[in-house]
Amino acid sequence: MVDQPLTPTSDDRLMAALSHFFGLIVALIAWATQKDKSRFVRFQAIQAMAFDLCVAILVFIMVGCMMVLIFGSMAVGMGGMAFTVNQNDPSSGLISLFITLLTAVPFLVPCIVFPLVGIVFVARLIAAIQTFQGKDFHYPWLGKQIEHFLAR
């Protein structure tokens, strides 16, 4: 490994900021080209890749849950409609209301997803700005895990 200065150069800061802002592909390129030249870029690029992998796993889980909710509510809605058609008692109105609310649940998922997209964007922006300023940025929890991993 080449002797590295204590403070990151302007090129190091730019590569780290681009890694955080643009994500996995840019971070992978930055890590591959700079891993032996700059500890700062190496750490920030690995951290950006790990953050993107965590976000991808979260998105995968959320999409899976949304699919279960959509198909589950469709099944419950179909069964409930058959139930309310065959029942002539006053409680069928409550059952119909419950089924209608249950069918609306999957359409509420974007109310959770859109704020999370905003949070991810703000986290990337903060990371990019701080690394561009030469600060040693750490995502909460994730940064320490990566430091321990790299220290081995």
Question: What is residue 23's DSSP assignment?
Answer: -
Q: Which three-class secondary structure state does DSSP give residue 139? A: coil
**Could you tell me the residue ranges of all domains in the chain?**
10-143
How many C-beta neighbours within 10 Å does residue 115 have?
Answer: 10
pLDDT score of 89: 59
Residue with tokens 């699919």: 67
The rounded distance, in Å, linking the Cα atoms of 16 and 129 is 10
pLDDT score of 150: 81
Per-residue pLDDT in tens (0 to 9) along the chain, 152 residues: 444 556 899 999 999 999 999 999 999 999 999 999 999 999 999 999 999 999 999 989 888 877 777 777 666 666 655 555 555 655 566 666 666 776 677 677 778 888 989 999 999 999 999 999 999 999 998 988 998 888 87
pTM over 0.85: no
The rounded distance, in Å, linking the Cα atoms of 113 and 61 is 12
Angle between helix 39-86 and 92-132 (nearest 10): 170
Helices within the chain (DSSP H only): 10-22, 24-34, 39-86, 92-132, 142-151
Residue with tokens 């992998």: 53
